[in-house]
């Protein structure tokens, strides 16, 4: 029992207890009870995960093992979702069976755990599959899982280069939707005409239209800018559009600019690529459990399932802005990051993508994760890794409500998920732990809940930028914030590789966290402390190899780190995923 007690003791002290370390320790512990997780995936394949459980004596020890088992099940579902998940065990072992039953029951009772079932239910319905199910079965049903069949196909590099070449002719729009902003890039015949950044707070909208309309308006603005390319530069419409493309331009100015062009027959796009931070399967937004739809989920005056379904029609609305045969390609922001990195590397004759393909992360408001295989396949799985339960400890920090910046709980699940270990919410939390003065002027406390001020101005991005500047100036606490983020990224990578076994030895990092070189170097330093044999690469100017990305790198008003995924989305609209 010493092993479990060690973890319980660390948790009481407020220390993290990493699931990968617990899993490895339990796997080598003598006298454990056999237990396996069997997942029937959305594509019909099966995956098995051994989950041996040590014996226990006290209720506190049992409680820790229950937390561990819940996390194992939740992480598998967050990564893959699926058609069914069964726990295999000796059905004659009454204690182990009761533990397993308690684990499955908790997914029905606890809202945070149930979100994994909600996603699975929506995916099964949308794909015409039977309802998702969970249960117990005897270990005798757990033989070796059949290996998935793979056949020869066109290589990833060939597909990527063809997509880039295809965007030399025609008009394309790339849209990168984030938690605090939306970024767009516009290209015509291989020229990067315009970029646009627009701040928003989707979680505050109580209806789907609050998410859909800004995206459509921004796409229409890019369509109007395309038309304005043929107008005199000093003309009123062109000048109005240029003002609307400025970062500070708000909703009303953009609407005015689009309206000013409404009488014209606007040109249509050859393709639109959209990076969206939710589960996307077959070009449809299907997850519905992210922070972006928080306002809709909490709106008791509507049927959330019906309201959320409206988001799945976003692709059809964007297609109205395209030529006949024009493509609208939608994918989660994580796979878009992986695709963007792969497209740049494929354009470099000296680069090699590797047998494991490309794994990339988008690190900003949240964490996006993507994997594109060496075959060019982007697995149709949720990869909701920002929700992974990697810390089984940190007991004291679990007592704060999820809305409090000191908490380790994700706001959208109420569970101690990765969002509070990576991304801007993690930076706030760790800054407060190390040196609260780093957040001075950015926080407010209401009814005992400490948060970043959102009114009269949203200070989330300015607060992160302040932390990054403090690190760049050498503040030791700020430096440690970003080192810890790197170590946490390594802990997530250990869990990801266990679940997916990608074989990729490099990780490419996109997003706001690499905008300041010092911060990226600190993240890489922390990452390599735990995973010295892996490489963490920045998606910065050094990755600007394709024609459009080179033009982006040449601009003085924006950076590659900011807009790489918006440009990558342009190429993605022409990519053959088959």
Reduce the DSSP state of residue 302 to 3 states and report it: coil
Separation between Cα atoms, residue 121 and residue 133, nearest integer Å: 9
Pairing of strands 46-50, 535-538: unpaired
Q: Report the 3 state secondary structure along 362-427.
A: EECCCEEEEEECCCCCCCCCCCCHHHCCCECCCCHHHCCCCCCCCCCCCCCCCCCCHHHCCCHHHH
List the domain boundaries for the chain.
2-141, 156-340+546-572, 372-543
CA-nearest of 479, 496, 492, 562 to 527 is 492
How many CA within 13 A on the CB side of residue 131? 3
Separation between Cα atoms, residue 412 and residue 118, nearest integer Å: 13
Separation between Cα atoms, residue 419 and residue 365, nearest integer Å: 9
Separation between Cα atoms, residue 178 and residue 461, nearest integer Å: 12
Residue pair 274/315 in contact by the 8 Å Cβ criterion? yes
Report long-range pairs for 454-460 (Cβ below 8 Å, ≥24 apart): 454/201, 458/180, 458/199, 458/201, 460/180, 460/365, 460/424
- DSSP annotation of 147 reads P
The sheet carrying 367-372 orders its strands as 367-372, 358-363, 506-510, 535-538
Cβ-count burial of 14 within 10 angstroms (0-12 exposed, 13-18 middle, 19+ buried)? middle
Query: Locate tokens 């100017």: which residue?
Result: 541
CATH class held by domain 156-340+546-572: alpha beta
**Per DSSP, what are the bridge partners of residue 89?**
35, 138
Separation between Cα atoms, residue 478 and residue 466, nearest integer Å: 10
Can 156-340+546-572 and 372-543 be said to share one CATH topology? yes
Separation between Cα atoms, residue 157 and residue 348, nearest integer Å: 10
Q: What angle do CA 32, 34, 39 make, to 5 degrees?
A: 140
CA-nearest of 296, 278, 275 to 204 is 296
Q: How many CB atoms lie within 10 A of CB 58?
A: 12
Separation between Cα atoms, residue 23 and residue 45, nearest integer Å: 24
Reduce the DSSP state of residue 149 to 3 states and report it: coil
Select from 3.30.1890, 3.40.50, 3.30.1450, 3.30.420 the CATH code of 372-543.
3.30.420
Strands (E), 379-485: 443-446, 449-452
Tokens of 509: 């990092």
pLDDT of residue 364: 83
For the chain, counts of helices (H) and of strands (E): 19, 17
pLDDT of residue 152: 44
pLDDT of residue 235: 86
CA-nearest of 127, 121, 33 to 85 is 121
Residue pair 248/300 in contact by the 8 Å Cβ criterion? no
CA-nearest of 432, 431, 391, 424 to 408 is 391
Kindly give the confidence (pLDDT) of every residue in the chain, 578 residues in length, as a single tens digit, with 9 standing for 90 and above.
578 999 999 999 999 999 999 999 999 999 899 999 999 999 999 999 999 999 999 999 999 999 999 999 999 999 999 999 999 999 999 999 999 999 999 999 999 999 999 999 999 998 999 999 999 999 876 555 554 444 445 678 888 999 999 999 999 999 999 888 999 999 999 999 999 999 999 999 999 999 999 999 999 999 999 998 888 888 888 899 999 999 999 899 999 999 988 777 888 999 999 999 899 988 999 888 888 898 999 999 999 999 999 998 899 999 999 999 999 999 998 899 999 999 998 998 666 666 778 899 988 888 889 999 888 888 888 988 888 999 999 999 999 999 999 999 988 788 999 989 998 999 999 999 999 999 999 999 999 999 999 989 999 999 999 999 999 999 999 999 999 999 999 999 999 999 999 989 889 998 888 888 999 999 999 999 999 999 999 988 888 999 999 999 999 999 898 899 999 999 999 998 76
Query: Locate tokens 């878009």: which residue?
Result: 336
């Amino acid at each position: 029992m010493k092993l479990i007690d060690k973890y319980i003791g660390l948790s009481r002290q407020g220390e993290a207890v990493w699931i990968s370390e617990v899993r490895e320790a339990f796997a080598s512990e003598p006298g454990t009870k056999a237990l396996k997780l069997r997942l029937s995936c959305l594509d019909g394949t099966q995956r098995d995960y051994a989950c041996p459980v040590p014996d226990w004596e006290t209720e506190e020890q049992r409680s820790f093992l229950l937390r561990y088992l819940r996390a194992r099940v939740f992480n598998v579902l967050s990564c893959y979702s699926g058609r069914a998940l069964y726990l295999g065990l000796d059905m004659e072992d009454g204690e182990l069976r009761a533990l397993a039953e308690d684990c499955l029951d908790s997914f029905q009772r606890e809202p945070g755990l149930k979100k994994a079932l909600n996603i699975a239910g929506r995916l099964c319905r949308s794909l015409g599959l039977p309802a998702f199910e969970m249960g117990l079965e005897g270990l005798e049903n757990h033989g070796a899982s059949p290996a998935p069949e793979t056949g020869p196909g066109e290589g990833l590099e060939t597909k990527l280069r063809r997509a880039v070449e295809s965007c030399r002719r025609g008009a394309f729009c790339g849209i990168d939707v984030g938690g605090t902003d939306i970024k767009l890039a516009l290209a015509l015949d291989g020229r990067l005409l315009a970029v646009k950044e627009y701040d928003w707070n989707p979680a505050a909208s109580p209806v789907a239209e609050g998410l859909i309309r800004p995206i459509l308006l921004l796409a229409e603005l890019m369509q109007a800018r395309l038309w304005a390319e043929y107008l005199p530069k000093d003309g009123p419409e062109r000048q109005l559009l240029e003002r609307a493309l400025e970062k500070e331009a708000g909703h009303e100015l953009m609407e005015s600019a689009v309206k000013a062009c409404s009488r014209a027959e606007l040109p249509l796009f050859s393709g639109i690529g959209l990076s969206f931070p939710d589960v996307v399967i077959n070009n449809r937004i299907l997850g519905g459990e992210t922070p972006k739809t928080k306002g809709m989920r909490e709106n008791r005056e509507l049927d959330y399932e019906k309201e959320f379904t409206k988001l799945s029609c976003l692709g059809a609305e964007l297609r109205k802005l395209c030529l006949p045969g024009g493509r609208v390609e939608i994918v989660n922001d994580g796979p878009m990051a992986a695709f963007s990195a792969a497209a740049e590397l494929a354009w470099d004759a000296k680069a090699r993508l590797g047998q494991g393909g490309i794994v990339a992360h988008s690190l900003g408001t949240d964490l996006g994760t993507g994997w594109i295989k060496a075959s060019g396949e982007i697995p149709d799985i949720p990869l909701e890794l920002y929700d992974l339960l990697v810390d089984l400890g940190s007991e004291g920090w679990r007592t704060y409500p999820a809305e409090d910046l000191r908490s380790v709980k994700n706001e959208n699940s109420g569970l101690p998920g990765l969002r509070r270990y990576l991304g801007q919410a993690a930076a706030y939390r760790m800054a407060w732990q190390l040196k609260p003065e780093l957040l001075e002027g950015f926080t407010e406390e209401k009814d005992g809940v400490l948060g970043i001020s959102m009114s009269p101005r949203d200070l989330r991005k300015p607060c992160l930028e302040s932390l990054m500047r403090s690190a760049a100036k050498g503040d030791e606490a700020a430096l440690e914030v970003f080192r810890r983020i790197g170590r946490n990224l390594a802990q997530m990578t250990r869990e990801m590789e266990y679940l997916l076994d990608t074989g990729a030895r490099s990780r490419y990092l996109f997003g706001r966290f690499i905008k300041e070189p010092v911060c990226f170097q600190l993240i890489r330093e922390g990452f390599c402390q735990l995973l010295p044999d892996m490489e963490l690469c920045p998606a910065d100017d050094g990755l600007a190899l394709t024609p459009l990305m080179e033009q982006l790198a040449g601009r003085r008003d924006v950076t590659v780190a900011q807009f790489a995924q918006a440009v990558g989305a342009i190429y993605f609209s022409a990519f053959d995923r088959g």
